[in-house]
Amino acid sequence: MAAQGVLWVGLLLLGVSGVPQTQAKDQDTLQPYFQPDKFLGPWYSVGLASNASWFLEKKNVMSMCKTTVAPSADGSLNLTSTFLRKNQCETRAMQLQPTERPGRYNYHSPHWGSIHSVSVVETNYDEYAVLYTQGTQGPHQDFRMASLYSRTKTLKDKLKEDFAAFCKSQGFTEDSIVFLPEPADKCINEPE
């Protein structure tokens, strides 16, 4: 149970929002001319979709988390997320290693012992970002997740609609898409 919580938090850290011009399935869909310096700063995880069974079981109890993206000296991105877990605020950190393609990163999952590919599919940097993650969980289990990030805790309906359409274009079903509520605590409202 705790391992699943750590996993979804790590994967939640990978998410961001937007609507790609083409499908992420083709592995070539990335934000054109991705600028990591504009991607830095605070984001809220506001939407998720996944094919993982643990996600479908937990999606109704998940809430929004705040993630801060900061640069690392080696060119990687450090993501630090604060979220509510068991009525307490927790913080987790992870590092996305850059690949040869701007906007594509690798994340080593300590839980699964596998590498996940994380792509920034689309972002306007000031309002939303969409991330697409794929890899494996356990022996030969395909894992996919789409994440919608927002600079604010509220989203325009059009962004929600576009994110849902993107998720469906990636093969996610309606019941695997969730928009996360703001937690009833101060975890994501605390100053940086």
Active-site residues: which are they?
65
Contact 77, 106 (CB under 8 A): no
The three-state (H, E, C) secondary structure of 88-147, written as one string: EEEEEEEEEEECCCCCEEEEEECCCCEEEEEEEEEECCCCEEEEEEEEEECCCEEEEEEE
Per-position b or e across 135-154, b if 16+ CB within 10 A of its CB: bebeeeeebbbbbbbbeeee
